[in-house]
Structure formats: structure tokens, C-alpha cells
């Protein structure tokens, strides 16, 4: 049964690869060199639940969403832009994606529900265009032939995911040594190009039992009215077509146990290169693999701050200044009282008691 499941997953990926990324003309990209995503050091503030309340004070970057294969402004996603936020706590990276969109959910039908993906450069030669850019085909792409063209992908399809619940790496799939997620389809993938894309631990070079899914994530929609938590029986969770905003929240350790060049490794103080993709079932029609929007037509720098961030430093300095000011006021008041007491003792008239002369005789 397990072998059939693995084969089915590989066939799904292979089928999507064959029909995807058929570009109509020569690739052209005009990328803004000033855009980036900032990941400050903000420990202890994020709860991974799909809600955005704890992200209110985090710096955001806003991007128009344009078709990945034809990044023309005339074909932008018309419901709004995507907001991308990132932070780290010195151990884990956290990401929040916010996208306006009418509620669409069809239980068990991933392609009739919104979906998102994060992609990161691993190999030095890996390009955003063509998902790594290795020239080898499906019959010849291997870890040796495509060395240096690796990209890391996290893909979350929510058709079987309950809002607010965690999905991704789990003991069962990780125990079998692959990047799958049989519960919510929040999967960990690596690729060399659109036609050579595999779950971590699986692929043409053979399977490796040391691989695992290091990602966790949750999703939410602003039209939901229940805050205490949903269960599967509550599906579809709110009315179809309701206006609102989708929230997708993810985390992953800065460093992983990957030995196969299938995971990006984040380093404090060093930028990474990333992209974000978004699928949406337009007019209630299922989306297809290459029909996604992206935030840019090239890599976007992910600036990972070192052990302190400007916001944290500012907060610390402010707190320190406030404490110093209060201490100074208290000390000034104490000094004033002491000074007044000393002045009183020095300048107040001294009443010397009268002693009759006869008492001294």
C-alpha cells in the first residue's frame, strides 16, 4: 500500500510537470532591484495558527501578483496584492502571506481551493525562471547532472486542511523518509526544473530514508467567525464567495539535517533568494499547475537579520530610556526631600531651654 502511495505521488508530480510551464514566447523580465523581504529577529511573538494578529507590528512587503509564465501587468490578479512578512527567532524562520480573495473551498478538491508555494534558491546556479534552470530532461535529470541548479519548494494545497490546524512535517511521513504530508498536503519538494520536481527523499537518484518535511503551517480566512477552532465536520467553514483575506502562515528551522542538497539553509546576517506563488480557482474552475501568479519575475532577496534587529533595538533602547527617565525622576525627588531636610536643620531657629542660675550653684 505504501509503495502504491509513493508511486501515485510521483505520477501526480510527473503529470503536472509534463503539462506545466509551456511558455508562449521568449522569456522577458524587468525586475525592480529595490524590492526585498525583511526577516528581523523577533523572538517569542509568533504563534503558528494561521491568524495574523501577532504580525501587526512586523514590517511587510507588498507585491502585485502576475502570471508566472506571462508577467504582464494587464493580467494581474485583480483582487489585490500579496503581503509577505518574515521574522526569525534565532532558531526558526516564520512567514506570513496575506491575499485578498473571495472565499473558495471545496473539501477534498485541492485545485478548487487556493494554494500557495514558497521557493528558495539552493544551488548557486539555480535560477528563478524554469524552477532551477537545469537543461536536462525528465529522463536525464539527476543530482549529478543538475548539480548546482537545486531549488527548495514548500507547497500547501488546502483542500484537506482544516483552518487553524497545523500541517506539514509529521511523524508518519518523516518516519518513511520523505517530504510528504498525507494529512494536509503541505509538502517539502526540491526541483532542478519544472519537469524534474520531487518530494524530498524521492527522485531519480533513488530514495533516501534520512529526508523529512521540515515545514509546518496553517491557513485562515478573515470571514471565519469561530475563534475556538474548527473540526472537519464544520467544512466548508463559512459561506462560499464571502469577501475577505486569506492568511497562510509557515515556519521552518533555519538549518535542517538535509544531506542531499534538497533544503535551503538559512544563515543569520546573510540574504537568501526566494519567490512566492499563488493559485486561485477563478470562476470556480480548477486551477492548473502552470496557472499560478508570482510576486516577481525573478528572485527576491530575503534579508535575514543577525541576532538583533532595528525594531528590537529601538524597542530595547526605548524601554531602557523610559526606565532611566523614571529612575532619574525618583532620584531627583529623593534628593529634593533630603536637601529640604538639611536646609531645615541648618536654618531653623534653635530653642535653647532656660536654666535657672540656682540650678548651677
Give me the pLDDT at residue 170, please: 97
Residue 136 to residue 140: CA distance in whole angstroms: 6
Contact 49, 318 (CB under 8 A): no
Place of cell 500579496: 82
Give me the pLDDT at residue 290, please: 86
Q: All 3 cell numbers of residue 227?
A: 475563534
Contact 296, 31 (CB under 8 A): yes
Give me the pLDDT at residue 8, please: 46
- Reported as a single tens digit per residue, the pLDDT across 118-170 is 999 999 999 999 999 999 999 999 999 999 999 999 999 999 999 999 999 99
- Reported as a single tens digit per residue, the pLDDT across 328-342 is 555 666 666 556 555
Contact 303, 38 (CB under 8 A): yes
Query: Could you say which DSSP state residue 269 is in?
Result: T
Residue 225 to residue 237: CA distance in whole angstroms: 9
Residue 213 to residue 164: CA distance in whole angstroms: 19
| Peptide bond before residue 236 is cis, with ω within 30 degrees of 0 | yes
Where is 183: in which H helix or E strand?
none
Of 216, 199, 200, the residue nearest 161 (C-alpha):
216
Residue 326 to residue 335: CA distance in whole angstroms: 14
Low-confidence ranges of the chain (pLDDT < 70): 1-25, 27, 205-206, 308-361
Contact 284, 112 (CB under 8 A): yes
Query: Could you say which DSSP state residue 65 is in?
Result: -
What domains does the chain contain, in order, with CATH numbers?
37-119+155-189+202-304 (2.60.40)
Give me the pLDDT at residue 339, please: 63
Contact 270, 288 (CB under 8 A): no
Helix and strand numbers, DSSP H then E, in the chain: 3, 15
Contact 95, 86 (CB under 8 A): yes
Give me the pLDDT at residue 72, please: 87
Residue 290 to residue 158: CA distance in whole angstroms: 18
Amino acid at each position: 500500500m505504501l509503495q502504491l502511495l509513493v508511486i501515485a505521488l510521483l505520477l501526480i508530480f510527473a503529470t503536472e510537470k509534463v503539462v506545466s510551464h509551456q511558455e508562449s514566447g521568449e522569456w522577458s523580465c524587468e525586475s525592480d532591484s529595490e524590492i526585498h523581504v525583511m526577516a528581523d529577529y523577533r523572538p517569542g511573538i509568533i504563534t503558528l495558527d494561521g491568524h495574523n494578529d501577532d504580525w501587526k507590528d512586523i514590517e511587510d512587503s507588498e507585491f502585485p501578483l502576475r502570471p508566472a509564465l506571462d508577467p504582464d501587468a494587464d493580467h494581474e490578479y485583480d483582487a489585490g496584492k500579496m503581503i509577505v512578512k518574515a521574522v526569525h527567532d534565532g532558531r526558526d524562520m516564520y512567514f506570513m502571506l496575506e491575499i485578498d480573495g473571495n472565499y473558495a473551498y471545496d473539501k477534498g478538491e485541492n485545485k478548487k481551493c487556493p494554494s500557495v508555494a514558497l521557493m528558495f534558491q539552493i544551488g548557486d546556479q539555480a535560477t528563478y525562471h524554469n524552477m532551477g534552470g537545469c537543461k536536462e530532461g525528465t529522463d536525464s535529470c539527476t543530482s549529478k547532472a543538475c548539480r548546482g541548479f537545486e531549488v527548495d519548494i514548500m507547497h500547501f494545497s488546502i483542500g484537506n486542511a482544516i483552518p487553524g490546524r497545523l500541517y506539514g512535517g509529521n511523524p508518519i511521513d518523516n518516519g518513511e523518509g520523505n517530504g510528504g504530508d498525507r494529512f494536509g498536503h503541505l509538502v517539502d519538494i526540491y526541483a532542478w526544473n519544472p519537469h524534474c520536481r520531487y518530494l524530498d527523499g524521492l527522485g531519480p537518484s533513488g530514495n533516501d530514508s534520512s529526508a523529512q518535511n521540515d515545514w509546518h503551517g496553517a491557513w485562515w480566512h478573515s470571514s471565519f467567525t469561530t475563534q475556538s477552532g474548527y473540526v472537519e465536520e464544520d467544512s466548508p467553514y463559512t459561506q462560499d464567495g464571502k469577501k475577505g483575506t486569506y492568511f497562510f502562515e509557515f515556519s521552518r528551522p533555519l538549518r535542517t539535517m538535509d544531506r542531499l542538497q534538497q533544503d535551503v539553509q538559512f544563515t543569520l546576517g546573510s540574504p537568501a533568494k526566494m519567490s512566492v506563488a499563488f493559485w486561485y480557482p477563478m470562476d470556480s474552475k480548477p486551477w492548473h499547475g502552470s496557472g499560478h501568479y508570482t510576486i516577481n519575475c525573478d528572485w527576491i532577496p530575503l534579508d535575514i537579520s543577525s541576532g538583533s534587529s532595528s525594531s528590537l533595538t529601538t524597542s530595547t533602547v526605548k524601554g531602557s530610556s523610559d526606565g532611566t527617565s523614571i529612575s532619574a525622576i525618583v532620584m531627583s525627588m529623593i534628593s529634593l526631600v533630603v536637601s529640604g531636610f538639611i536646609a531645615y536643620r541648618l536654618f531653623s531657629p534653635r530653642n535653647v531651654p532656660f536654666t535657672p542660675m540656682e540650678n548651677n550653684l
